[in-house]
């Protein structure tokens, strides 16, 4: 007999909070509808920190999508953001 799936079962999967739609944190920045807007304050702050740690220049002119990609690059370079 198959067990019934409860609504709270979806909460354990952060990629699928509603049971089928991927989280926006997993969506490619090139697909963001607001990706061409200026980066957010949180992105700028974190990107400044990562840039300092990586000893690379901080580019304040990046849009949201480009800032997200740059954060990913610098996280890889600095080792930040890696889950163990």
Residue 11 included in any domain: no
User: Residues 46-72: pLDDT tens digits?
Assistant: 999 999 999 999 999 999 999 999 999
Determine the pLDDT at residue 19: 53
pLDDT (0 to 100) of residue 30: 77
Residue span of the structural domain in which 53 resides: 33-84
Residue 40 resides in a domain: yes
For residue 4, tell me if it sits in a domain: no
Domain assignment present for 70: yes
Residue percentage of the chain with pLDDT more than 70 = 67
Q: SS3 letters for 21-71? A: CCCHHHCCHHHCCCCCCECCHHHHHHHHHHHHHHCCCCCCCCEHHHHHHHH
Q: Examine the pLDDT at 9 and tell me if it is beyond 50.
A: no
The reported pLDDT for the residue numbered 83 is: 62
Per the structure, the count of domains in the chain is 1
pLDDT tens-digit readout, 15-48: 444 555 555 567 888 787 877 899 999 999 999 9
79 in any annotated domain: yes
Per-residue pLDDT at 22:
52
| 12 occurs within a structural domain | no
In a domain, 5, yes or no: no
Q: Confirm whether 57 is domain-assigned.
A: yes
């Amino acid at each position: 007999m198959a067990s019934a799936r409860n609504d709270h079962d979806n909460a354990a999967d952060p990629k699928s909070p509603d049971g089928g739609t991927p989280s926006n944190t997993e969506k490619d920045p090139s697909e963001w509808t607001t990706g061409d807007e200026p980066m957010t304050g949180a992105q700028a702050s974190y990107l400044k920190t990562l840039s300092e740690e990586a000893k690379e220049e901080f580019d304040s002119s990046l849009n949201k999508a480009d800032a997200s990609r740059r954060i990913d690059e610098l996280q890889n370079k600095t080792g930040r953001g890696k889950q163990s």
